[in-house]
Amino acid sequence: MKKQILVVDDEIGALTLIGIMLERGGFSVLKAKDAKTALTVLDQNQPDLIILDVMMPGMNGIDLCKVIRERDDIGTIPVLILSARGDAESIMRGIEAGANDYLPKPILHHDLVAKVRLMLGENGAEA
């Protein structure tokens, strides 16, 4: 059974690219272009991991992470924030919001897949 990952990013190019990286890494991918869509997806799915972009129209990734953490049904799903903002303050805000980890963009395929596997407790072995 493939692990399922929800990717939330308002940039279609980034959403597509991250999706391809994860699919090549052996994961099943759900995609959402904003926080509202992501919450709708989460009402119907329980992914194994959620990857959030920070800068999005409407609710940003930090606030979305807080909303996820407050929900009983999805509050324990690991969250990885992926953002072009790699400064210490942004990283702190992400972690304080409940993110398990924070990676700066642009991200290399190997780094992303390795980080996701690590967060899911996989040792890199193909499932």
Quote the radius of gyration of the chain (alpha carbons, Å): 13
Residue 120 confidence (pLDDT) above 80:
yes
Condensed to tens digits (0 to 9), the pLDDT of residues 22-70 reads 999 999 999 999 999 999 999 999 999 999 999 999 999 999 999 999 9
Region 75-79: what's the mean pLDDT? 97
Q: What whole-number percentage of the chain has pLDDT above 90?
A: 83
Number of domains observed in the structure of the chain: 1
Instruction: For the chain, give the mean pLDDT.
Output: 93
Nearest to 110 by CA among 20, 21, 49: 21
pLDDT-based confidence at residue 126 (cuts at 50, 70, 90): very low
Q: Is residue 115 part of a domain?
A: yes
| Element of type H or E holding 8 | strand 4-8
Query: For tokens 């805000």, what's the residue?
Result: 93
Contact 78/103 with Cβ under 8 angstroms?
no
Comparison of pLDDT for 85 and 96, the residue scoring more: 96
Q: What whole-number percentage of the chain has pLDDT above 70?
A: 96
Q: Is residue 124 part of a domain?
A: no
CATH of the domain at 8: 3.40.50.2300
| Element of type H or E holding 105 | none
Sheet strands (E) in 15-117: 28-32, 49-52, 79-83, 101-104
Residue 64 CB neighbour total at 10 angstroms: 27
Q: Is residue 126 part of a domain?
A: no
Domain containing 30: what range? 4-119
Q: What is the pLDDT of residue 85?
A: 82
pLDDT-based confidence at residue 127 (cuts at 50, 70, 90): very low
Contact 6/38 with Cβ under 8 angstroms?
yes
Residue 3 confidence (pLDDT) above 90:
yes
